[in-house]
Amino acid sequence: METASNGTPASYDALIVGAGFAGLYQLHLLRDRLGLKTRVLEAADGVGGTWYWNRYPGARCDSESHSYRYFFSRELHDSWDYSERYPGQEEIRAYLNHVADHLDLRRDIQLETRVAAAAFDEKTNLWTVTTKAGERLTCRWLITAVGCLSSANVPDIPGLETFKGEWRHTGRWPHEGVDFAGKRVGQVGTGSTGIQAAPVIAETAKTLTVFQRTANYSVPARNHPLSPERKRELTERFEEIRDLVRSTPNAHPFRISADKAAEQDAETLAQRYEKAWEIGGLRFRAVFGDLLVDKGANDTAATFLKGKIREIVKDPATAAVLSNIDHPYAAKRPPIDTNYFDTFNKPHVAVIDVRADPIKRIVPEGIELESGKVHELDVIVFATGFDAMTGPLLAIDFEGVGGRRLKDDWAAGPRTWMGVAVPGYPNLFTVTGPGSPSVLANMIVPIEQHVEWIADCIETMRAEGVERIEAEPAAAEAWMGHVNDAANATLLPEAGHSWYLGANVPGKPRVFMPYAGGMVRFREICDAVSAAGYAGFARNRPADPEAAPPEVLTAMVGGAETGAGRAEALAQGI
């Protein structure tokens, strides 16, 4: 590999930050299809992105394995089999290592390289990227593939530094694992991660105490090994599965029913929910089409799921704490589990309601609550989530035109054009940035779509001699307005403590960040924008603060039209 020498930054056509699903595919397209001199900069010492870092007990993907893989190449597809209905962390990491080898990507990936800053030079239209180690590299095109959930959120609880035991965050889990045998373990957090981790931690811990602030729904995953016949069938049906995930709003390999819960009688509801519970997984969400737009409809699912908790958990007081859920089903990302609620039937497992008696501080012996009660612990596991979507981008000090800083520009919330471009930061592309469907969809599908759209855009700019492309401010304004409308047409904002809104990080602006209008609609909008000559982008000139929002967007998302029909259409992504 080339390195900087004599103080002159090494120069590239394109630099990509991150070697997860997005970064690997972006490298392949830019290097192997466009012929660009490209390098990936990755903080970790291996590829895998989120699947490199999240090695906590029970880490497994909630998307089914036949949909959680690249679809751009039949040959690549046929070179790999997953072994279970849902792929585990180790297996996904092995898959991504396989991809890196299969496509000969490693020679252009620079590991153990954390990007600290990036500055755009208006004279040359080049970015200069500075790594934490002080290396400088320049490029024309800068692509962030940093993931949505990669900045660990360790809560600022006073006294953590005094704790005598060991503490860990699930998103920064040590490679050698954590030995819970004979230990008193406290777990803070009951999101998707905590719900996966608790049953596995309980297998070896002496005691497990789960500190729950917000009770959560969960549906059994019903994971199982895939038989050789099933694997063969999934390989043979590649095209069908690919077309299905690309044609459904949430990019999962199943369709959302058009039936409405609100129109069913009690018996039908019970039958349909019971069947969906038996099938398990995120498919539960798709059993009726109105669950996320109609509170009455949602209540029927919520009542069923709370009833299941009370059925499974034997101790009524424990069941009451676990089922005391304050938000509509799936308004927060719905977890799926393996034996989560049943774990609380074990005599050495307990749940503590820290909304009723909040965590006051951490003391050398463990966790102290406001009531003065101290839970003595040897290990604390923080399953407390991430500074989602904006966190990984703001961890880089981006300097755009005229010395502007991204952290200032986004002080009141992120501003992007379609989640992929930011006004004031030319030639920067953000794969699954804020305003993209990303986390509301099966991530692989938006990732492939963004990466391909970005490669097509760069290819077109090069063919047309464009050295600078920048989102117009009005396009970003209009887009964020549409992102907001799409969220407000659903019940999603009703979970006021959700990370979709940034509410889990104290001081973070409350802005609904992912695009809830659906992956199908999103793809159509992106395609229309490029077909219209990259509408909403200034090319070879500074952005125009007076420019109108792109007509193509206004035409596709409508004006001030409101009402149930529009709400339902906007909510098709859920």
Regarding 189 and contact with ligand N01 (CB under 6 A), the answer is: yes
Nearest-approach distance from CB 453 to ligand N01, in angstroms: 23
* Under 8 Å between Cβ of 252 and 66: no
CB-based contacts of 303, cutoff 8 Å, min separation 6: none
Nearest-approach distance from CB 6 to ligand N01, in angstroms: 44
DSSP label of 159: T
Regarding 352 and contact with ligand N01 (CB under 6 A), the answer is: no
DSSP label of 370: T
Tokens of residue 89, six digits: 């962390």
For ligand N01, the binding residues in 247-306 under the rule CB under 6 A are: none
Nearest-approach distance from CB 261 to ligand N01, in angstroms: 23
Nearest-approach distance from CB 500 to ligand N01, in angstroms: 9
Task: List Cα–Cα distances, 545 to 418, 428, 467, 548, in angstroms.
Answer: 18, 18, 20, 9
Nearest-approach distance from CB 499 to ligand N01, in angstroms: 4
Nearer to ligand N01, 9 or 509 (CB): 509
* Under 8 Å between Cβ of 75 and 69: no
Stretch that binds ligand N01, among 3-11, 186-194, 389-397, 508-516 (CB under 6 A): 186-194
Quick note: the x/- pattern for ligand N01 over 42-71, rule CB under 6 A, is ------------------xxx---------
Nearest-approach distance from CB 74 to ligand N01, in angstroms: 25
Nearest-approach distance from CB 489 to ligand N01, in angstroms: 21
Regarding 194 and contact with ligand N01 (CB under 6 A), the answer is: yes
Please list the residues that pair with 136 across neighbouring strands: 130
Regarding 191 and contact with ligand N01 (CB under 6 A), the answer is: yes
Best CA proximity match to 499, nearest among 331, 356, 352, 340: 331
Nearest-approach distance from CB 504 to ligand N01, in angstroms: 5
Regarding 190 and contact with ligand N01 (CB under 6 A), the answer is: yes
Regarding 333 and contact with ligand N01 (CB under 6 A), the answer is: yes
Regarding 155 and contact with ligand N01 (CB under 6 A), the answer is: yes
The values of phi and psi at residue 351, to 5°, are: -115, 140
Nearest-approach distance from CB 534 to ligand N01, in angstroms: 31
Nearer to ligand N01, 196 or 432 (CB): 196
Nearer to ligand N01, 38 or 151 (CB): 151
Separation CA 421–CA 426 (nearest Å): 8
Nearer to ligand N01, 109 or 359 (CB): 359
Regarding 385 and contact with ligand N01 (CB under 6 A), the answer is: yes
Nearer to ligand N01, 41 or 92 (CB): 92
Separation CA 495–CA 492 (nearest Å): 6
Best CA proximity match to 284, nearest among 230, 216, 217: 217
Nearer to ligand N01, 442 or 449 (CB): 442
DSSP label of 19: -
How far from chain centre, in Å, is Cα 395?
17
Separation CA 136–CA 129 (nearest Å): 6
Nearer to ligand N01, 30 or 188 (CB): 188
* Among the listed residues 504, 516, 552, 570, the single contact to ligand N01 using CB under 6 A: 504
Separation CA 19–CA 30 (nearest Å): 14
* Among the listed residues 26, 138, 151, 193, the single contact to ligand N01 using CB under 6 A: 193
Q: DSSP for 315-351, please give it.
A: SHHHHHHHT---S-TTTSPPPEESSHHHHTTSTTEEE
Stretch that binds ligand N01, among 23-31, 173-181, 209-217, 451-459 (CB under 6 A): 209-217
Nearer to ligand N01, 139 or 354 (CB): 354
Side-chain-facing half-sphere of 369: CA atoms under 13 Å: 17
Report the Cα–Cα distance between both ends of the chain, in Å, rounded: 44
Please list the residues that pair with 139 across neighbouring strands: 12, 127
Q: DSSP for 263-300, please give it.
A: GS-HHHHHHHHHHHHHH-GGGGGGSSTTTTT-HHHHHH
Regarding 497 and contact with ligand N01 (CB under 6 A), the answer is: yes
Nearer to ligand N01, 38 or 192 (CB): 192
Please list the residues that pair with 121 across neighbouring strands: 126
Separation CA 367–CA 381 (nearest Å): 12
Regarding 499 and contact with ligand N01 (CB under 6 A), the answer is: yes
Applying CB under 6 A, the site for ligand N01 has a residue count of 27
Separation CA 166–CA 352 (nearest Å): 20
Regarding 492 and contact with ligand N01 (CB under 6 A), the answer is: no
Nearest-approach distance from CB 155 to ligand N01, in angstroms: 3
Separation CA 17–CA 27 (nearest Å): 10
DSSP label of 61: -
Regarding 439 and contact with ligand N01 (CB under 6 A), the answer is: yes
Regarding 192 and contact with ligand N01 (CB under 6 A), the answer is: yes
Nearer to ligand N01, 52 or 537 (CB): 52
Regarding 534 and contact with ligand N01 (CB under 6 A), the answer is: no
Nearest-approach distance from CB 60 to ligand N01, in angstroms: 6
Regarding 214 and contact with ligand N01 (CB under 6 A), the answer is: yes
Regarding 327 and contact with ligand N01 (CB under 6 A), the answer is: no
* Under 8 Å between Cβ of 516 and 571: yes
Nearer to ligand N01, 177 or 481 (CB): 177
Residue position matching structure tokens 């800083």: 405
Stretch that binds ligand N01, among 134-142, 210-218, 245-253, 536-544 (CB under 6 A): 210-218
**Residue type at 462?**
R
Task: List Cα–Cα distances, 504 to 333, 384, 436, in angstroms.
Answer: 13, 9, 20
Nearer to ligand N01, 348 or 497 (CB): 497
Separation CA 55–CA 448 (nearest Å): 24
> Given the rule CB under 6 A, which residues bind ligand N01?
60-62, 149, 155, 188-194, 196, 211, 213-214, 333, 354, 359, 383-386, 439, 497, 499, 504
